[in-house]
Amino acid sequence: MKPAQTTRIAATVLIAATALAPALSRPVAAQPTAADDERRARARAYASAGIAAHDRGDYDQAIVLFEQAYAELPHPALFFNLAQAHRLAGHSEQALGLYRRYLAAVPDGELAAEARTWITNLEKERGPAEPAAAPPKGPAPAPGLPPPADPAKPSPVPGNDQRALRYGAYGAAAASAIAIGIGAFYGIKANDISDELSQPNVVYRESRFQEGESAQTAMFVWYGVGGALLTGAAVLYFVSNAGEETPATAWIPTVGPDGAGISWSARF
């Protein structure tokens, strides 16, 4: 930056500080308090320190100090000071926004013409806005990575987890078969006792009848347990095959009035 241009920018900041002084000296309420005076004093100190940082070219520090001054006592002149510091720090978009905020607050202020000039210059440097590109249909995969999964298909389960789920399905299916077998045993026992008590000339015994009732209850309980395990096995097996077009094998649970079972199909 040329020395003449630097002197002009520094003078502009000092003008902004002069514009700030009347606002800092006015009371913020009908009866200013000691706290108000302290805030104004802090704002003056931050603004002065910001001008000093600007003059020595430390624009990032100037931005911080001007922001602290504005936090203590908001004044539109600080928008201009911040815009100048951001512009010189290379933050064109932030500078444009702050120049516009200054003009929105004081469109006829003594720094308004200067602000409009810098807005015009920055907009020319930025150039015409580029039309927004049409969003891609899907994210392009990074080099070396697999393409993104089709959302219409279930995500495949990782290999180790897939095997664990499949083994779990086999174990649940085996436990289901055992439970159904126990249920069948109690069903046969209940049926035998019923046939026994239905024979002619048989002496009715309450204990034997209760034994048949218990066997029938146990049958239903074990069939229920077997059916639940069978359903769990089918779910585990389905999850373990998530992401495959067609499972190589399939477990099909079957439950009927005479018991529960499982059928297995395979594709070769």
Tokens read off for 63: 């931005």
Residue 151 maps to a domain:
no
Averaged over 78-84, what is the pLDDT? 94
DSSP state for residue 241 in the 8-state scheme: T
Residue 137 maps to a domain:
no
**Are 113 and 184 contained in the same domain?**
no
Q: Nearest-CA neighbor of 215 among 179, 241, 189? A: 189
φ, ψ of residue 150 to 5 degrees: the values are -70, 120
**Are 118 and 216 contained in the same domain?**
no
Residue 191 maps to a domain:
yes
Q: What pLDDT digit, counting tens, does each position of 169-207 carry?
A: 788 889 988 989 898 998 898 888 888 778 877 777 788
Averaged over 38-66, what is the pLDDT? 93
Q: Which of 8-22, 204-218, 244-258 has the lowest mean pLDDT?
A: 8-22
CB 20 within 8 A of CB 110: no
- Residue 217 has what pLDDT? 94
Q: Nearest-CA neighbor of 117 among 135, 139, 95? A: 95
CA dihedral angle for residue 6, residue 11, residue 16, residue 20, rounded to 10 degrees: 130
Neighbours of 160 (CB within 10 A): 8
Instruction: Select the more confidently predicted residue: 5 or 204.
Output: 204
**Are 192 and 253 contained in the same domain?**
yes
Question: What range defines the domain where residue 166 resides?
Answer: 159-266
Strands of the chain, DSSP E: 249-256, 259-266
Residue 165 maps to a domain:
yes
- Residue 102 has what pLDDT? 93
**Are 118 and 37 contained in the same domain?**
yes
pTM exceeds cut of 0.75: no
Domain count, the chain: 2
**CA gap 241, 247 in Å, rounded:** 6
**Are 104 and 204 contained in the same domain?**
no
- Residue 15 has what pLDDT? 45
Tokens read off for 219: 């049958």
Residue 36 maps to a domain:
yes
Tokens read off for 82: 């911040």
**Are 8 and 117 contained in the same domain?**
yes
Reduce the DSSP state of residue 165 to 3 states and report it. helix
CATH assignment of the domain containing 43: 1.25.40.10
- Residue 195 has what pLDDT? 84
What value does the mean pLDDT of the chain take? Answer: 76
Q: Which residue, 126, 150, 173, sits at the end of a domain?
A: 126
Q: Which residue, 85, 102, 126, sits at the end of a domain?
A: 126
- Residue 84 has what pLDDT? 94
Q: Tell how strand 249-256 and strand 259-266 pair up.
A: antiparallel
